[in-house]
Structure 1
Amino acid sequence: MSGHYPYGDPYGGGGAVPPPDDKGSTALRTVLIVAAIAGVVTVVAGLLIVLKSPDEYGLASNRDALALQKQPSGKPEQALFQAGPDVPPPLPQITPAPPMMPSTPLRIVIKRLGINAPIESVGLAKDGTIEVPPLDDANLVGWYRNMSTPGEAGPAVLLGHKDTRTSTAVFSKLYQIKNGDTIEVKRQDKTTAVFTVGGVEQASKKTFPTQRVYGAQENAQLHLITCGGTYDRSIGHYADNIIVYATMTSSYRS
């Protein structure tokens, strides 16, 4: 392009004179503008009529006819039992069964968690703590023999690992147990004691609720213990314990 603009420089160069008005062109433009406005008014009016009655013109939307999907009704997770270390253990709102005579426990079954494991007795370690089952048998549960047997009056204490260095262990899902779940313990006398869960606690090992777990009880209680919380790699232990409190509510012959 040469840079010459026929009707003057649009960026303010100036100097050129605009062409004279053409009266015929002005009249034609007026007629066209009026016709265009009339056309727009006609189109708008037509659209308003269609929108008021979309069914008559085949424009009804199927959106309003679609059934709404049912919203998820997710239930909140069960709250963990929390109390001072001297508070009694939580009991289910149900009548406890009469205690039975002592008998060595052989097997524990928690159907909802898929647990079916043998039990062996454990005592005290040299440092005064309760022994735990050997790590080379991840599915083994320990019964603390210095306390009650499951089904006998008082608290019976069973311990199991959450995991080992190579795999999960028998109580890896214990934290998922719910109030009202049942736990069965098969005994040497051919009876099975059935316990109903009344509470689940996560307690720091630094403030372990000794009285709540080991304190005397009139009814037959079952307390399950495993590890929980965060894992401290520097010492090779979990920071907390998961403790399940259950009361015997029935029994039957195996």
Structure 2
Amino acid sequence: MLAVVLLAVLATLAFVLSGPGETGQAAPQVPASQAETPSAEPGESGAPADGGGAVEGMPKADPVSIDVPKIEAKSSLVPLGLNADNTVEVPPVTQPMQAGWYENGPTPGEVGPSVILGHVDGNKQKGIFFRLKELAPGDKVSIARKDGTTAEFAVTKVERVAKDKFPTDAVYGDTTEPELRLITCGGVFDKASRNYLDNIIVFARLIAR
């Protein structure tokens, strides 16, 4: 688990979801305080939006698709790892409607934070997570899994954060329940660097299996 978390820390610090024609950036050195096993900050995940109790984690099973009804976002899911330069792989910018899941972390439904990435736009088209910022606590996210089951999540909060202040521990740190993070770009598009300056992060927790 420690190895997975360390990879996740590197991935998070490197993470840049591309806009039109963009590429990822090299990962900076991991601060010593983040090289230890991180844990989610108290209250980061939030209480369940529906007020329900904890749901038992599901067995490991690769996700195959995502459905977010409120924003009409449906996509198959491709596995994403790390590039040779320690940047996170992202779905091809030429296919902005394709979402992917970070395969070095828990699969959706397992105990821990699973992470799904998608473009806000690309190739001069809207991306799968173009409307991600519209989500609010209580909105539902469904993840179909390879074992035939479906993991149902409810959003607990939505954040817009500067990329240089990405909340690594809150996104990738250990959790005691099955949780989900959806991540895309947002904020101002910097033409000089050809990057969005912020990330939109949706936090959710498992409510049904």
Q: TM-score normalized by structure 2? A: 0.77
Helix, strand or coil at the partner of 1:186:
strand
The correspondence for 1:178, drawn from 136, 140, 162, is 136
Structure 1 residues 1-254: aligned runs within 5 Å: 86-87=41-42, 88-92=44-48, 93-251=51-209
Residue 169 of structure 1: CA displacement? 0.6
**Is the Cα–Cα contact under 8 Å of residues 194 and 248 in structure 1 kept in the other structure?**
yes
Quote the Cα distance in structure 2 between the aligned partners of 1:234 and 1:199. 31
Name the CA distance, whole Å, in 2 between partners of 1:141 and 1:206: 23
In the TM superposition, what is the alpha-carbon distance from 1:136 to its structure 2 partner?
Answer: 1.7
State the identity as a percent. 37
Q: CA deviation at 1:199?
A: 0.3
Q: For the residues of structure 1 that align with 2:162 and 2:45, how far apart are their CA atoms?
A: 16
Q: Is the 8 A contact 2:112 2:174 kept in 1?
A: yes
Number of residue pairs aligned between Structure 1 and Structure 2: 167
The question of whether the paired residues in 2 share the 8 Å contact of 1:201 and 1:242 is answered with: yes
Runs of 4+ in 1 over 3 A off after TM superposition: none
Q: Which runs of 5+ in 1 are unaligned?
A: 1-84
Q: Say which SS state the counterpart of residue 100 (structure 1) adopts.
A: coil
**Post-superposition CA distance 1:221-253 (Å, at most 9, x none):** 0000000110000011100000000000002xx
Higher relative contact order (CA 8 A, sep 6+): 2
- SS of structure 1 residue aligned to 2:67: strand
Q: Secondary structure at the match of 1:211?
A: helix
Structure 2 unmatched runs, 5+: 1-39
Q: Decide which structure has the larger Cα Rg and report it.
A: 1
Please report how far the alpha carbon of residue 213 of structure 1 lies from its aligned counterpart in structure 2 after TM superposition: 0.2
User: Is 1:158–1:224's contact at 8 Å kept on the other side of the alignment?
Assistant: yes
Q: Distance in 2 between matches of 1:91 and 1:146?
A: 26
Preserved CA contact (<8 Å) 1:161 1:170: yes
- The one-letter amino acid paired with 1:91 is A
> RMSD of aligned C-alpha atoms?
1.3
Question: What whole-Å deviation, never above 9, does each CA across 1:122-179 have from its counterpart, x for those lacking one?
Answer: 0012221211111121111111000000001100000000001311010000000111
In structure 2, how many angstroms separate the alpha carbons of the residues matched to 1:141 and 1:90? 25
The one-character-per-residue Cα deviations of 1:14-35 (angstroms, maximum 9, x if unpaired) are xxxxxxxxxxxxxxxxxxxxxx
Amino acid at match of 2:119: H
* Residue-by-residue CA offset, 1:171-212 (whole Å, 9 max, x unaligned): 000000111001000000000000010000101100100000
Q: CA deviation at 1:86?
A: 4.4
Q: What corresponds to 1:17 in structure 2? A: none
1:131 and 1:192 map into 2 onto residues whose CA distance is: 25
The structure carrying a bigger helix percent of its residues is 1
